[in-house]
Structure 1
Amino acid sequence: MGGAMVLTLAALAYPSMLGVSTVSSSQTRIIAGTQWGPLTEGDRDFVVRVRAAGLWEYPLGQIGLQKGSSKGVRTASEHLIDGHAALDASCRKIAPMLNITLPNVASPQQEGFVTQLKGESGKKFDTDFANILRMTHGSIFNSIAKIRSTTKNSLVRALADQANDTVLDHITVMEKTGLVDFDQTIFQQTTPPKLPSADLTPPAPPAGQPEVVLTPPPTATSTPLDIDGIAGGGSGGGTPAPGASPTVR
């Protein structure tokens, strides 16, 4: 095959569940062979989860810049925008290479967090902002470590490295607000509510819908993955199958 990516039809399947719970019962099942290494269900779901996280945390960062009443919350908001713009760019780079369909909106649960915080102001907004985001980042932190330590796909591994750095940074800036209730937040993080799968699943984009792009801030300090530097410069590869999300530049 001359190094070209070989994909099974299973790779086109949209993840059944997303959020803080397990997204599949067969996370180690290989769904595609690629020139960057085998792609498992867990690998695919991880890429989608990183994309979905940015789709609600990036706009929440924009809201935090407008509504945050403390310097710590405004600083944390800047980090959300900066970090998720770079992560999103990385997801949008590697998804077509691995034939992964990305969502254009976050899950209903995640959108619910945004709706809640849009309706708050002052100290209430600041406190809930810091605690919700500390909880959600803490929830995915262990998942990133698991993917990083088990994936055999070099593109997914590089995304996990970037996500690990970004999430740790976001955890840290939330804690620096001085507003995190660790007892409550860690309990919610380790004992998440049992929600219907529909609440945890970002909907697949309609065919032909333009891809949402999270624009980096003018003062961006985070950078997307250097695809040319991964796996010996192997940045070629798969072409998205018919029906896969288009990329709008």
Structure 2
Amino acid sequence: MGGALSLTLGSLLYPAMLGVQKVGSAPERVIATPATGPLTEADRDFVVEVRSAGLWEYPVGQMALKKATTKAVKIAGEHLIDGRASLDADSREAAGKLGITLPDQPSPQQQGFVAGLNADRGKQFDTDMATLLRATDGQFLPTIASVRTTTRNSLVRALADQANDIVLDHIAVLEKTGLVDFDQVLPQETTPPTLPAQELTPPPPVATQPQVVLTPPANSTLSPSPTVG
């Protein structure tokens, strides 16, 4: 019986699917009651989404350091690396305390983003990176605000605070490149995704593999949130 119970709890602490296309989901349903406050499905999904976003934005930042044709795009890449490494540390710390299983790979859709940018060359990379990241970060802001205003868990609240500051910083440096195509960004921010839910959900980790860690740069100006860490 103990094994069956553990399996049930474990399945609750990793989402079957993420995104607006959840079927029969109950985001306000409490799935655990740690000392830091009740943990809902929405709280769990948020921690997973922070981790998943870092798993694709971080390598894009590394890509920008090598492929950018302008200083502004390179600076944006530096911010992506630094910010996502800091958020990764926070999300892993929070997940460890809350018993949440985190992915080691981004979602299939996010993997497609990385592959597309990896194929870009020259100024096309600069424009595509700035526009795509500005759109996805803009989409994430309402989720951060919703979790921040509704969660009853102090660790999730601290992670949302940190995510809000870092995502806003990324939006600002992407806009400073002067390359964001707002005619593409604004519709993407307001149109629900049409992909199957499994394309939006990162695969669960492989138990035999070590956890992926996003290493902060040597000159990092950020540190994990003291409340989370």
Does TM-score exceed 0.5, indicating one fold? yes
CA apart distance, 1:22 = 5.5
Task: Give the corresponding residue for 2:193.
Answer: 193
CA apart distance, 1:160 = 0.1
Alignment of 1:16-31 (within 5 A): 16-18=16-18, 21=20, 25-31=25-31
- Alpha carbons 1:57, 1:84 under 8 Å: kept: yes
CA distance in 2, matches of 1:22, 1:89: 28
Name the SS for the 1:31 alignment partner.
strand
CA apart distance, 1:226 = 1.4
Gaps of 5+ in 2: 1-5
CA distance in 2, matches of 1:52, 1:216: 16
Task: Give the corresponding residue for 1:238.
Answer: none
Deviations 1:182-238 (A, max 9, x none): 1221101111430011211110011132000000001101111214xx6xxxx8xxx
CA distance in 2, matches of 1:219, 1:15: 35
- Percent identical: 58
After TM superposition, the structure 1 stretch with the greater mean CA deviation from structure 2, 90-99 or 33-42, is 90-99
**Residues 159 and 23 of structure 1, relative CA distance in 2, 3 Å threshold:** farther
CA apart distance, 1:44 = 0.2
CA distance in 2, matches of 1:204, 1:190: 28
Gaps of 5+ in 1: 1-6, 236-249
Alignment of 1:134-213 (within 5 A): 134-213=134-213
Structure 2 length normalisation: TM-score?
A: 0.92
CA distance in 1, matches of 2:41, 2:214: 25
Alignment of 1:43-192 (within 5 A): 43-192=43-192
CA distance in 1, matches of 2:90, 2:22: 21
Deviations 1:70-120 (A, max 9, x none): 111100000000000000001111111100000000001001000000001
CA distance in 1, matches of 2:30, 2:8: 12
- Alpha carbons 1:89, 1:224 under 8 Å: kept: yes
Structure 1 length normalisation: TM-score?
A: 0.85
Deviations 1:16-43 (A, max 9, x none): 2235x36572110000001000000000
- Alpha carbons 1:11, 1:31 under 8 Å: kept: no
The 4+ residue runs of structure 1 with deviation greater than 4 A are none
- Which structure shows the higher helix fraction? 2
After TM superposition, the structure 1 stretch with the greater mean CA deviation from structure 2, 57-66 or 206-215, is 206-215
- Alpha carbons 2:75, 2:173 under 8 Å: kept: yes
CA apart distance, 1:10 = 3.6
**Residues 145 and 11 of structure 1, relative CA distance in 2, 3 Å threshold:** farther
- Alpha carbons 2:90, 2:224 under 8 Å: kept: yes
**Residues 171 and 23 of structure 1, relative CA distance in 2, 3 Å threshold:** farther
1:144 maps to amino acid:
I
Task: Give the corresponding residue for 1:223.
Answer: 223
